[in-house]
Amino acid sequence: MKSFSGRTAVITGAASGFGLEVSRIAAGRGMAIVMADIQQDALDAAAAEIAGLGAQVLPYRLDVSSAAEVEAMGAATRARFGAPHVVFNNAGVGGGGLVWELGVRDWEWVLGVNLMGVVHGVRVFTPMMLEAARKDPGYEGHIINTASMAGLLNPPNMGIYNVSKHAVVSLSETLYHDLRLVTDQVRASVLCPYFVPTGITRSERNRPADLQDRQPTRSQIVARAMSDKAVSSGRVTAATVAQFVFDALAEERFYIYSHPQALGNVQTRMEDIVAGRNPSDPFASRPEVGEMLRQALRDE
């Protein structure tokens, strides 16, 4: 995609992090923007900022895990702007802990947002974009789904998050191939960030009411503390990653990485799979981290 001015972007998780930074760039490129987020006050402030940059903005309070709400947002988008040209399925929440300690509602919440939120975005907007492509030979569309490096690796004590993000990578790769079967005008990408300071570590604020009072297990507390430390110490900013997203759009590139230097761990995992080896120690290069995690989970 070479041209952005006069086109429309739909962005979920738009009130903070990657979503807000992508909104800022989109506004600077002359795009109209549907900004969707579950947190109304943050959404109001973000939408006001982006409108102040001169963009046409449709703010939409949205729970991406709800099929009906995403469908309604799709209808509102079509009514206001027509078929979008860029869809950034970006909303996500964090989660960790030993996999057997997580309750059914924990799984439903994380998978509902991280996976089904992307599924709903793909399901609602892809047909709309394909229809626009059939009607206009000059139409260009692009869907970007936010996964994670955790969608290419399996760090321990993060199973619920890993599962959700692996599924998003699989969905996105399949979407890429499916689109190539039927069109040359709509493309797909997957964003796999590593540790980037965003609001993901504060996603507990949006947990469903029935999960708010549940006491976290020790492994969940440890996972949250380690994630907070890793994310807050990240040196690559959300604004930089947002620019990577637009670079990938211009280059029609599928994989978008914030930390390509971390791909060595992905290569090791792939080699383990091909060779039939047991999974390599994820802390081989930093054994002190693995020892700290083991001690935190074994000590009474």
**Catalytic residues, which ones?**
161
Within 8 A by CB and 6+ apart from 25, the residues are 242, 243, 245, 246
Within 8 A by CB and 6+ apart from 60, the residues are 34, 35, 36, 43, 73, 76
Do 233 and 239 contact (CB within 8 A), yes or no? no
Longest Cα separation, the chain: 65
Instruction: Determine the Cα–Cα distance for residues 236 and 154; give it in Å rounded to an integer.
Output: 22
Q: Is 32 exposed, middle or buried (0-12, 13-18, 19+ CB in 10 A)?
A: buried
How many residues in total does the chain contain? 300
Q: How many CB atoms lie within 10 A of CB 144?
A: 26
The DSSP line for 206-233 is G--HHHHTPPPPHHHHHHHHHHHHHHHT
For residue 143, list its beta bridge partners: 87, 188
Instruction: Determine the Cα–Cα distance for residues 6 and 1; give it in Å rounded to an integer.
Output: 13
Nearest CA-CA partner of 73 in 1, 128, 111, 28: 128
Instruction: Determine the Cα–Cα distance for residues 165 and 161; give it in Å rounded to an integer.
Output: 6
